[in-house]
Structures are given as C-alpha cells and as structure tokens.
Amino acid sequence: MTRILHVIASSDLRAGGPIEGARRFAEVWARDGHRQDLLTLDAPGEYPLQDYPGEIFALGPGRGLYEYSSTLLPWLQSHAGKYDAVIVSGLWRYMVRAAYRALSGGSVPYFVYTHGMLDPWFRKAMPRKHWVKQATWLFAEGPLIRDAAKVLFTTEEERRLAEGAFWPYKVNAAVVGYGTRDVEGDAEAQVAAFRQAMPKLGNRRFLLFLSRIHEKKGCDLLVEAFARFASCNSDLDLVIAGPDQSGLVSGLSARSEELGIVNRIHFPGMINGDVKFGAFRAAEAFVLPSHQENFGVVVAEAMACCTPVLISDKVNIWQEVVADGGGLVEPDTVIGATNLLTRFAALSPDERTAMGQAARNGFVRRFRVEEAAGTLMSLIESEIAKRRIDRQL
C-alpha cells in the first residue's frame, strides 16, 4: 500500500476542480489498496466529505489573505515522514511556504499541482498582484517547485502556458492528465430531479453553464452573447448554475433585465447530485466561455453525459474537444461566445446528437479518472522506488 498525504487549502467542493480531483483520485487508489489522506485549513467538520476513503486533517482556518497557520508547519514536520509521498495542491498561500520548509531536502518525495495558477491570464488581468506573486515566488513558490520530484500539469497546454511565468523558473514537469468519474444513476430520474428543482424553467429547452460564478469564467460574456442570440432562438433558455463566490449574480441579473432577457436566464445557485447530472443530461449543450481554465472538470462531466460542449480556446482541453468532434470552440470574447451559440443552433438535430456521442466517446478515451489516477500513481511509485535505490547505494 502506498500512503499519500495531499496538502490542499480546503475540502469544500464549491472550490471546484482541485478538491473534486483529489477525492476522485483517492477513490480509485483506495480500490487498488492505496490510501490518500487530506491536510486542509478548514475548521474541523466544516466541509465533511462523508464518503472520503481516507482521513481528513482539518487544522483550522488560516489568518489573513495569505492564510497563515501556526500549526501547519509543525504538523507537517511531525507527520509527513509517515507517508510515502506528499502532493501539494495550489500556490500563493502560506501552505506553500510551510510545505517547502517541511519537505525540501527530506526523504519523502513531494509533488506539486499548480492547477493553472501559472497561466498568463492572471498576469494580464491582475498586473499588480503579479508583482506581489513574483516577490513571494523568490522565497516560497519558486523553491517549492524547484525542489519538487515533479511539478504536475493536467494538460500539455497548461505546461506550455506556464513556461517562464515567474523568475527564476526551474521546473521538473510531468503532464499526468486529469479526469473525473463516469456518470452513474438513472438518467430519467436525474432529469426529473433537475426539472423539479427548476419550476420556473419548466420543460423549456436550455443551454447550461455550470461552474463557479467568477470573473474568469466569462459569465458576463455569456449573458451578452445570449442577449444577441435570444431573439432569433425563442425556444431556448439559459441556466447559469454554480456558487456565487464573488457576488456577481446580482450584476448579471441586473444586466439581463436591461437586455430584456431576465425571464430567460435562471440562476439556481450550486446544484449537486442527481440534480446536477440531470442538468447535464437535459441541456441542449454545455457552455463555458472562460478566460482561463486549467482543465475543466465540468467540461469532462458534460461530455460523460453525451452533452455537446461549447467552450473558449482558453479551456486547456479545447484541442482534444475539437479533435474528437465533441463540441465547438471560439475565442473568449462576446463575439466568440455569440458564435458558439449561433453555430450550435445552426446544427441539425442529427448533427447535435452525433456531437453529443462524440463528446461521450472523447470522455471515455481521455478523461475517465481511472486513467489519470493510474498515470499519477505510476509516477509516484517510480519516484519512491528510485529514492529507495539511492538510499541503498
């Protein structure tokens, strides 16, 4: 059995892809006899993952924007040696500095997931923050990444975009893929659960956005594009589902009222379980016009449900989607988002069905979590074996 400690800011599923991926990998590894525990800065019991197949050590919330925790470094120094390997997820928090101090030069190999946080979009969108990050890079993120056994990228596009993001940039990179579990459950029951949760939508056809409602996701582009699209496509509504972590829904709703489409856009908040998968299954297409998207677990989930995906070319799996014929791709602009909607609407019913099946086939071939989890475990076990041999020499 390989024992892994995964250091991650939070086990809150509203945080999106990193924790979703961590728990799905843990499930696959548990079936193969391995174990992954989580170390978080959540308050104990705050975000319980009832079915998580390992232990979750919640040390309590950190202080300030940097999330400083006086207990994190001592905990790692005392407990990291009990594991065969450590994974550190994310950057730009105190946990990075603590992980470097506890793990660098030690006997336990560690691996770092950057989760798209080195993407150049952040530098363009928030130039002042970039210079603050460059300063912390010199004593925290940079050294952590430099000394890591491997820095993990989910796509080749993510690895390419990250090159030279900060100075100095010394990275032992590995593209390991990513994914999510296949869709389960009764399709008709899931669609019924979604429809029941959305009485104002009724039985109308709809396009679906499902992700964190955040500036980088392009929700404003989607509202503007849908306004241009709506008058010529009166039989389609738009559902924008997900947690509003940045307080954007009120502005998006106000803008939709100004544009005269307020009755055709629905904001149900975060949806989970059968309601979530019912939304994927019932949607005509899934739309994600992001300015930056490291992988896009929700894109993979939509594909698993035979739903065509309409995405921007800033979603890092866009080339795979195009190659498989599972969706359409345009730039992350209002015109690009409008083109996504109009191009999809111009397809015949048979073409839409074929695109949905191609999306499903692409998911099975590329994005099932079992393949990505197996690739990463092989990489971890190879590094563990290498270090054992080195110690014997």
pTM score, two decimals?
0.92
Average pLDDT per consecutive 10 residues, the chain (393 residues; last block may be shorter): 97 88 96 98 90 96 94 98 97 96 96 96 93 95 97 96 95 95 96 97 97 95 97 95 93 97 97 97 98 95 98 97 98 98 98 98 96 96 91 75
Q: How far is CA 223 from the centre of its chain?
A: 22
Evaluate the omega torsion of the peptide bond into residue 18 and state whether it is cis, within 30 degrees of 0: no
Residue 346's pLDDT is 97
Residue 32's pLDDT is 96
Identify whether the C-beta of residue 326 lies closer than 8 Å to the C-beta of residue 359.
yes
Residue 114's pLDDT is 95
For residue 195, how many C-alpha atoms fall within 13 Å in the half-sphere facing its CB?
13
- Which domains occur in the chain, in start order? 3-180+369-392 (3.40.50.2000), 187-367 (3.40.50.2000)
Give the H or E element holding residue 336. helix 334-345
Residue 50's pLDDT is 84
Residue 232's pLDDT is 92
Residue 16's pLDDT is 78
For residue 305, the one-letter residue type is C
